[in-house]
Structure 1
Amino acid sequence: MMASRTLGGQIWLVSTDTGSRARRPRRKRSACRRRRFTVIIPACLAEARAGSHSVRYEGYGPGGAAVMVECVTEDRGGMGARVRRAFLQHGGRLGADGSVSYLFNTVGLMTYPPGTDEERLMKAALEAGAEDVVPNGDGSVEVLADPLEFDAVRAVLTDRGFEPATAEVTQRAATTVVLSGEEAVSMVQLLDALEGLDEVRDVYSNVEISDEVLARV
């Protein structure tokens, strides 16, 4: 699905998602992400792009959950202050470069809804070169692929009748932190606050929060 959005300096962004993703999934929220974007720079806007920077901020939310924030901004100092303020207001703290990024891996991720034939999908995915097939408790299935092989694996699966509900190259946490109670509520508020900042492109976390807690926020 194509979508456009403007970030600082009139930079056009085009979504690389192929399907819609709910802001708060019905299953456990294992990673909070904005829709991923690729920067497309029309010739007439090249000058506007020159002053922008891609910046990553890393930190910890309530309960020690890892949070990684990727931004495109022309004001690194101001952006850093806004991100730091969001962390502090919701019980988190900003960390140093590299403090949590080692917990995430760049992967090609395809998701399939409940009811998908898991055995057939697994066979087709592994034959296509996927790295792993992960069934979830709600019946949905995730297929992981090397980012360099992502397009090829997706094309093979689509050709075999397995059109993914979502498909993206993203960051996936190697381990997760389960939160409940007020820590979970504060964590959701932190992630929402970070996602709401204008120049934030992506927000990632290794937190897991139950549907019951999400319903309270």
Structure 2
Amino acid sequence: MAGHSKWANIKRQKARVDVVKGKTFTQLSRAIIVAARNGIVDPAGNFQLRTAIEKAKAAGIPNDNIDRAIAKGAGTFDEGKPLEEVRYEGYGAGGVAILIESLTDNRNRTAAYLREAFSKNGGNLGETGCVSWMFAHKGVVAIASFSDEDTLLEAVLEAGAESYELTDDGEAEVFTEPANLENLSQILKQNFPVSDIELRWIPDNTVEITDLDVARSLLKLIDTLEALDDVQNVTANFEMSDELLAVTIA
């Protein structure tokens, strides 16, 4: 699939200059809540929950916070209104397609915040389905390093993965259908240092951004969206050169 890592590369480069926000704790805690609600509360038997807990611990979230999030998901902790997973879609400057994954207790509030963010940054919030057809939902396992690509290929084939890509910083990303993500991660962990496991929306095609003003509008929109408390993840189908990205986020 073309363009697998383009958005991931942009996200990584942006992260190098982004200020770490306390929102990360909120995002990871909410992911635990939803995972606990969608499956059994025991991490050993709930891959989504186990992965969410691992990410929370890696980010330094205290165990008490993790336990509280699990209790909220299990319904044994008074959490007020329940959270639900809602996906929103829209267009940014240059006709770029944008998917927003949210966890919210108030759809109307979240939609209003998103609509304002789009309108102030050269885009517009669309109807459900307006851009999701341009993306495929995939499981992704990131490998921090490897010494032999043949060994990696052998493991990828054994695990029933679809493809893999080498990143610019010497890592690898392996792609599979969502239902096979747990199996893939277990097999790769046997021989490689796995740095991340996630479900990701991947664009079928990407839009090349070359105009500085459009680039600035897009990145400002994405920063605004990601700063919203209800937003868990933002994905877009554009790419730009490292040189333009460096100028834009400088």
Global fold match (TM > 0.5): yes
Q: Give 1:170's match in structure 2, choosing from 200, 203, 223.
A: 200
Give the secondary-structure state (helix, strand or coil) at the position aligned to 1:82: helix
The structure showing larger relative contact order (alpha-carbon pairs under 8 Å, at least 6 residues apart) is 1
- How far does the alpha carbon of each residue in 1:72-100 deviate from its partner, in whole angstroms, 9 at most, with x for none? 22222221111011111111111111010
- The aligned counterpart of 1:60 is 91
The 5 A counterparts of 1:138-217 are 138-159=169-190, 161-180=191-210, 181-216=212-247, 217=249
TM-score normalised by length of structure 2? 0.67
Runs of 4+ in 1 over 6 A off after TM superposition: none
Q: Which amino acid aligns with 1:99?
A: C
Aligned residue in 1 for 2:26: 5
Structure with the higher helix share, 1 or 2: 2
Letter in 1 for 2:245: L
Structure 1: runs of 5 or more not aligned:
21-37
Q: Which of 23, 26, 41 is 2:73 aligned to?
A: 41
Superposition TM-score, scaled by structure 1 size: 0.77
Deviations 1:88-128 (A, max 9, x none): 11111111110101111111101234664322211221122
**What SS is found at the alignment partner of 2:137?**
strand
Question: Which residue is equivalent to 2:52?
Answer: 16
Aligned equivalents of 1:17 and 1:203: distance in 2? 21
Greater strand content: 1
Report how many aligned residue pairs link the two structures: 194
- Specify the code of the residue in structure 1 equivalent to 2:52: T
Q: Mapping of 1:76-91 within 5 angstroms? A: 76-91=107-122
- The 3-state SS of whatever aligns with 1:129 is coil
RMSD over equivalenced CA pairs, Å? 2.9
Pair 215,82 (structure 1): closer, same or farther in 2 beyond 3 Å:
same
Aligned-residue offset at 1:6: 6.9
Q: CA deviation at 1:162?
A: 1.3
Distance 1:119 1:184 in 2: 38
Q: Secondary structure at the match of 2:193?
A: coil
Aligned mates of 2:78, 2:137 — CA distance in 1:
28
Residues in 2 aligned to 1:206 and 1:176: alpha-carbon distance in whole angstroms:
5
SS where residue 161 of structure 2 aligns?
coil
